Amino acid sequence: MKKSFIMLAAVLMSASASVFAQNPAQDAAKAIADAKPGNENAQESLWKDDAVASVGFTNTQLTNWAAGGYNTLTLLASLDGNANYTDGPMYWNNHLQLDYGFIRSADKPVTQKNNDRIYFESKWGYKATDNLSYTAKYNFRSQFTNSFNYPVPNVEDPNRKDWLNSRVLKSGFLAPAYTDLGFGIDWVPNKWLVINFAPLTGGYTIVLDESLRKQYSMPLLDDAVTYKPAKFEFGAKFTADAKFTINDVFSYKTQLVLFSNYLHKPQNLRVNWDNQVDWQIAKHFALTFKTYLIYDENILIEGTPKTQFKEYLMINYTYKFKPFRR
């Protein structure tokens, strides 16, 4: 009996030693598996990104319509993406918006552009407190292609060539373009509002097309006849970004930007105010309402500065890209 007990104890001790000897190897294997990309237990990436693409389409077709009107075809496409990096108190946020659209109407034998926008914003920040950060912020804004006004040609029964000959250029790629770099602070009073104040902001207004430079108040060269293609500005910039998510299907975001140029009439503010309302009515379909307001005394419309306003309402097919694993 005693001999049997001793043999049983020896077997148990041997098994226990084998188990404990395997634990370090098992732990190491588990750590390697957890670190593999795609594993749910892997360390969270320092990057967070998202992108939404949308396409909206409308068609109006009239046949014997007594009240009048024109057959029209409209297409709008947009891409809205973010790529944000956070590492402790340091962060780097990037935002890109691309919009393009056109309209074809039976009253003109030409395709007209009704939306065109390139907007890029990149902000580096370092947190001083939970609500305040030191920031460096870069912005770029322009459009892809030329825009025209189409006055009625002064000929009887004008054809497509007559319409093209009568068009008047209003803007184009890098005509104008606005780019600046500002140093200041971020204040985040709550999770839905970010306020940035950059008292040291320098940048350029660029108008490559010579025929448009007077319209955008570009400075003259020494010959007092030729306008410069770029104008340097230095001043203070205020930006307020707010985003409200009411529920899983309804959201609203807005951005207000004010700029004061220290070098020329600092009391006259440049204003840009963008608004967007999204209602996700189905998995891939959303109702989107956007507005854009601009006031810039340097942009002359019929010879004088005016408040510019644009809006559009569209039912879009939307697709949300999955975050890119880094």
Mean pLDDT by 10 residues, the chain (326 residues): 40 39 45 47 75 90 84 93 96 97 92 94 97 98 95 93 95 96 97 97 97 95 92 98 92 97 96 96 93 95 93 91 72
Structure tokens given for 269: 């503010």
Half-sphere exposure of 253 (CA within 13 A, CB side): 10
In this predicted structure, what is the pLDDT of residue 44? 66
Residue 81 to residue 102: CA distance in whole angstroms = 22
Residue 158 to residue 215: CA distance in whole angstroms = 28
Query: Which long-range contacts (C-beta less than 8 Å, at least 24 apart) are formed by 17-24?
Result: none
Query: Whose structure tokens read 């307001």?
Result: 293
**Are 56 and 76 spatial neighbours (Cβ–Cβ below 8 Å)?**
yes
pLDDT in tens, 92-151: 999 999 999 999 999 899 999 989 999 999 999 999 999 999 999 999 999 999 999 999
Structure tokens given for 247: 């529920």
> What is the full DSSP assignment across 254-277?
EEEEEEEETTS-TTS-EEEEEEEE
In sequence order, what are the residues at sequence separation of 6 or more whose Cβ sits closer than 8 angstroms to the Cβ of residue 127?
89, 90, 91, 133
In this predicted structure, what is the pLDDT of residue 252? 97
In this predicted structure, what is the pLDDT of residue 240? 98
How many other CB atoms sit within 10 Å of the CB of residue 47?
15
> What is the full DSSP assignment across 121-148?
EEEEEEESSSSEEEEEEEEEEE-SS-EE
> What is the full DSSP assignment across 11-31?
HHHHHHHHHHHHHHHHHHHHH
